Amino acid sequence: MPFLSDHLLLLSILAPLLAGVAVALAPKAAAKPLACAGFGVPLLLALHAWWYFDVVPHDHGYAFLTAYPTGLTGLGIALKLGLNGLALPLYVMAAVVGLAAGLYALQSGAERLQGYLALLLVMHAGLMGVFASVDVFFFYFFHELALIPTFIMVGMWGGRDRHYAAMKMTIYLTLGAMLSLLGLIALYAKSGANSFDLIALRETLAAKPLDGAWQHRIFGLLLFGLGTLVSLWPLHTWAPLGYAAAPSSAAMLHAGVLKKFGLYGLLQVALPLLPLGAAEWALPLAWLAVAGNVLVIGFVAMAQRDLKQLVGFSSVMHMGYAFLGVACVAAAPASGAGQAAAGGAVLLMVAHGLSVALLFLLSTSIWHRTRTFDLDAMGGLAQKTPVLAAFFVAATFASIGLPGFANFWGELVIFVAAWKFSPLLTALAVAGVVISAIYGLRAAAKVFFGSPTGAFATVAAAHPPADLRWAEKIPALLLLAALLFIGFWPRAISGPLNAAVTTLYPAAAAVAAVPAPAARP
C-alpha cells in the first residue's frame, strides 16, 4: 500500500482535524459517529506504523518520511513528517490516549457536546502532528494547535475555579511557549542551516557546531520554556489547578500526551544539537527534578484531600523522574548510561501518559457516583463498585511503578542510569517511590476500603452507586491493556527506541568533542 505508507502520518493528522470540523457543522445525530471515526482512525494508522516500522525503508533514521510544500521554502519551512524510534512510541501512545479520551467524552453527557467533541478532535490532530513532525517549525505549530482548544475547554466545560485555572494555564503555558519559540528561532538563526528541518540542522551542526556560549544560552531558553510546559518545579503551579478544573477528556489528553511535548523536544531537538550547553545544565536540572518535582511535590501530594488535585500533583511529581533521565543524558550522552536514560525517559513518558489518563478517567467516574472529590467524605465504595475499585487499584499500582506495568521499566532504567550520574540524587529519587506509594494507596483505601462517613453511607443507601458501565469500561480497558502490554513486553517499543538513541547521542557526543572558541560573543 504505497499511498498509505507515503501519506500515513498526514492522514493521522487530517482525520481528526476534518472530523472536528465535520462534527461542529453536522446534524446532531451524525456527530457521534463522525467523532468515533476521528478518534479511531489515528489509532489504526498508528498501529500500522508501529507494526511496519522496521519493514519500510528508512531515510536518516526516519520511517514514512514525506515532505509537503508549504510556500514557505524560502524561510526553510516545509511540512515534513516522519517517525524515528524516539517519536514512534509517543506517536502510538498519543493515538491510544486520544481514542480513550474521545470514547469517554462521547458518554460524558457534556453540554454543547458537539462543540466539546470538535475541540477535542482538533486537539488530538495537533498531538498526532507534534510527534510526526520532522520540521521544527511544525513541531511547534502543532503544539500550539493542540494547546488553544485546551484553554477553551477548561474555561467553558471545566469545574470549580475553571476561569481562574484557564487564565493561569494561559499565562504560564504562553510564557513557556514563547521562551521555547525564542530558543528555536535562535537555534535556526545561529546554526546557519537556513532551515527548520531537523535532519538539516543535525547535519549542519555536526559539521560546524555552535560554540559553548551560544549552546548554553539556547539550551537554557529551551529548558525553561519547554520545562514550563512540562511543569518543571518551580514553574509547575498551573498544572494541578488546571487539571483539577479541566473536563476529564481534556485532562487526559493534556496531562497524558501534550505535556510530553517539552520532554520530547529536549530529547529529540535540544540534547542532540546542543550537547555542550546541555552538559552545563545537567546538574541544576537534576536537582530541580529530584528536590523539587519528586520530593517537594511528592510531599504536597501526600497532603491533598481532593482526589483530582491529588492526581494532578502526582502527574507533576512523576515528571521529575523523566527530567532526571534527561539530566543523565545531558551529562553523558554517548555513554551507555546516557543512552539508557534516554530510552528510560521515553518509556516513562509513554507509561505515565497511559496511567495518568486512566487515573483522570477513573477519578471522574468516582465523582459521578459520589458527587465529591473529597477523600475524607468517601469510603467503602468497593462493596458497591468492585470493577471500578479494581481499575483504580491497578492504575495506582501502575503509577507507583509496580512490576508488570509499563511504568516499572521506565523508572528502573532511569534509576540505574542515574546511579552512575549521582548516587545521592538516585537515593532521593527512589525515596519518591515510597512517597507515591503512600499517597496512592491511601487514596485507594479512603475511597474504596475505608469506613464510609455517615453522610456518605446515608446517600449510598438511598441511591446505591452503580459500577462502571461498558461505555466507561472500554476506554479504561484500552489504557490498562496498553500498560500491561508494555509492562510484560517492553521490547515492543524498546527495539526502535534503542536504535534511535544510539544514533542520536553518539552524534551529540561527536559535536561536543569539537573545542569551542575561547572568546564568548
Q: Are 398 and 355 in contact (CB under 8 A)?
A: yes
Q: Are 245 and 166 in contact (CB under 8 A)?
A: yes
Bridge partners, 212 (sequence order): none
Position 291 scores a pLDDT of 93
Bridge partners, 50 (sequence order): none
Per-residue pLDDT of the chain (521 residues; tens, 9 = 90+): 566 667 899 999 999 999 999 999 988 888 899 999 999 999 999 999 999 998 888 888 899 999 888 777 767 788 899 999 999 999 999 999 999 999 999 988 778 889 999 999 999 999 999 999 999 999 999 999 998 998 888 888 877 778 888 888 888 888 999 999 999 999 988 888 888 889 989 888 888 888 888 888 999 999 999 999 988 988 888 888 888 888 889 999 988 898 899 999 999 999 999 888 888 899 999 999 999 989 999 999 999 988 988 999 999 999 999 999 999 988 877 677 788 888 899 999 999 999 999 999 999 999 888 888 888 888 788 888 899 999 999 999 999 989 999 999 999 999 998 998 889 999 999 999 999 999 999 999 888 887 776 656 666 665 677 888 998 999 999 999 999 999 999 888 888 888 888 888 765 555 554 443 343 33
Position 493 scores a pLDDT of 86
Bridge partners, 59 (sequence order): 62
* Strand-strand pairing, 58-59 and 62-68: antiparallel
3-state secondary structure of 480: helix
Which grid cell is 375? 477523600
In terms of residue numbers, what domain contains 289? 2-511
Question: What Cα–Cα distance (Å) separates residue 325 from each residue in 128, 170, 496, 500?
Answer: 24, 28, 18, 16
DSSP class of residue 382 equals G
In a domain? residue 521: no
Position 431 scores a pLDDT of 92
Q: What gap in Å lies between CA 212 and CA 218, rounded to an integer?
A: 10
Q: State the residue for C-alpha cell 510526526.
A: 132
Three-class SS string for 310-341? Answer: HHHHHHHHHHHHHHHHHHHHHHCCCCHHHHHH
**What is the edge-to-edge ordering of all strands in the sheet holding 62-68?**
58-59, 62-68, 79-83
3-state secondary structure of 497: helix
Spell out the residues 6+ positions from residue 474 whose beta carbon is closer than 8 angstroms to its own: 103
Position 36 scores a pLDDT of 93
**pTM of full prediction above 0.85:** yes
3-state secondary structure of 172: helix
Q: With CA atoms as reference, report the closest residue to 154 among 168, 140, 143.
A: 168
In a domain? residue 435: yes
In a domain? residue 63: yes
Q: With CA atoms as reference, report the closest residue to 100 among 135, 127, 74, 82.
A: 127
Q: What gap in Å lies between CA 494 and CA 273, rounded to an integer?
A: 23
In a domain? residue 117: yes
In a domain? residue 427: yes
Residue 68 has phi, psi (to 5 degrees) of -125, 135
**Overall number of domains in the chain:** 1
Residue 293 has phi, psi (to 5 degrees) of -65, -50
Spell out the residues 6+ positions from residue 166 whose beta carbon is closer than 8 angstroms to its own: 151, 154, 155, 158, 242, 245
In a domain? residue 520: no
